[in-house]
Structure 1
């Protein structure tokens, strides 16, 4: 049997299984067509050979580890551009994992431990990131690709710990917004995650394929039409709510005026002479009651409204709420609210990254939320939360991590990752996170 030393790349769409259960067969097929049209040309542009694809997952080989990593970051930047042009339901968020080693060749397929390791690394990779093993790090051209160690991991079925690296986010050696501009709007996506470092090397035809199996412009028109429908629905609902609010306001004014008149009439004559001041006191009292009843925070109420909205309408509503959040001057609170909004749109895993940014900006509320997410109902969210608090060295989370290490969750053991080769284990994630804390 033939063997070859190759770089192995695994990719898959985060949350794909959950999405397919909510979408029609036609919508699923269109999603996969867009996925193929965006990724396949970039694999080929960097010299990759697509070995197989199953649903949302790709297995690709490269002769050059450097080219393999460059293809991964080109894909992430290409998806960033794509996601900015479509509504949330049409967006694609992909994991990329890379390993290198000697594999067995059997026809068009490949086998061997390097393949298994790459699949395991894909299981711990985060959406929007490019993870790769120490073997890739040692063999790639470091002058072409920035890198940073994530940590050493015990991967199921693999002896010893595997050191894992990732490509850090821009800016580095590419044009990017100034540090001051980024500091003014942390958490806001003002540039591609990897600064087009690899995408700029690709011919325009590969970066934005024209003769692909799916007409991307047509899909864009469909997405725009869908957005218009959502906007019309939101506008209609806003109109109805506005009319209802006006009616309630008139009723409240009538009833309130009547109650106020009766209340003043019941007061002693000396007090009645100062009815204007009594009115001011009543207004202040009612305002206080209203703040208690409605939370006293316009932004928080708006986020809760997104959370309660029908799923197909959340993306349109979230845009307006995001605009409101960006008016917050304090960075920690702004990013905490962005995290809550991300959760409200059904993306708790993405919210973890935003909360991490908020914690770095000094948000105590974001710390509390990260700790709460260690008991989330989803195994992958608990596991990612454990990794996040460990990276942040959030000592307040140690007790919650110890509880997670002991109890885990009801869905521990569920299949995840490429081809279902990985199992989610939040207990093990908590154990690894605790080992990452300094001074323990």
Structure 2
């Protein structure tokens, strides 16, 4: 008798954690075949993409190779991109894989499943703003982060020309005052300091201009006002030009045009305003909302098909009266834990548990300068407000918790030791 196959599409924070848990509980005992499908060969924790974009994070050191990881954790990895679903036949259709030159490496193919988990994350939402797709960088994937880093370094190199520096200030425009925009603003100032120290450019953080533009009345609109005010004050003290209550109506190659007609001249543009699920999810024949998120019950099962589950940013999971689970990394990790148990319960013919989101607080990194946030939040408490060194340590611990969920304690401890040693052995910034 064939064992059931559970296919997980998407190897992000939630998908990889789920594959790891199911591999340990079901795959190792041959109770189910666990297959993780992802278009990339390696995993980088998405909250660190702003560090990858500025070169502070060395992806060759921090990325996880899916094939090696799958072998150690009793699941199978397949490389591919979902481009179709036949839920009547329980088959997913995979697009052909091509190399950098457009040559086909793997043809289009099909993969059958008994249970399907969609964990495809989110992408930036440009809200149809004119020129954004053509003239702004996005930082939704490692490839996009690396593309931004290449352009950033080349832009700094151009400004080694004294004639150019004399007539023009290097300016970077970041649209979106959420966590990504805020953290990228601070990292760019730190990156300029390091590029100057390594002799890449003659300018430093005091001679570049970073504009952070947010349409809402304040930065970090999803967090408390205290955090928002503290972060804005810290950024302004660093030299970031913060624009709140400012919408962008058009992006051009070297400038941003606000809703009031103000023109901000730029050398690089980054769009980090709003998120949505990948648009093709609305074409799979499953119920979605206006942000293309898949509608699921609180058990994380699709409202259309009990054999299909969705989790993380691509899922619209109800929570409380007329509420839903926010698209945050901690929500994806919590859902991975519940869904791993629910799939085991499903195989054991037991009723499924509802997912209940618990907000443990939020932390925002301001590069080497600072961190701000709160912890231990609950429905009855706003939590403990943190900033400075303690907040930096708490922020760093979030990544260690992610590593713990996918590697286990021994390997996470070794990774921490290697990171400490590399601080002394390697440059702090990757320059290529």
Q: Compute the TM-score of the two structures, normalised by the length of structure 2.
A: 0.29
Larger Rg: 1
Q: Give the strand-richer structure, 1 or 2.
A: 2
Q: Greater RCO between the two (CA within 8 Å, min separation 6)?
A: 2
User: TM-score under structure 1 normalisation?
Assistant: 0.28
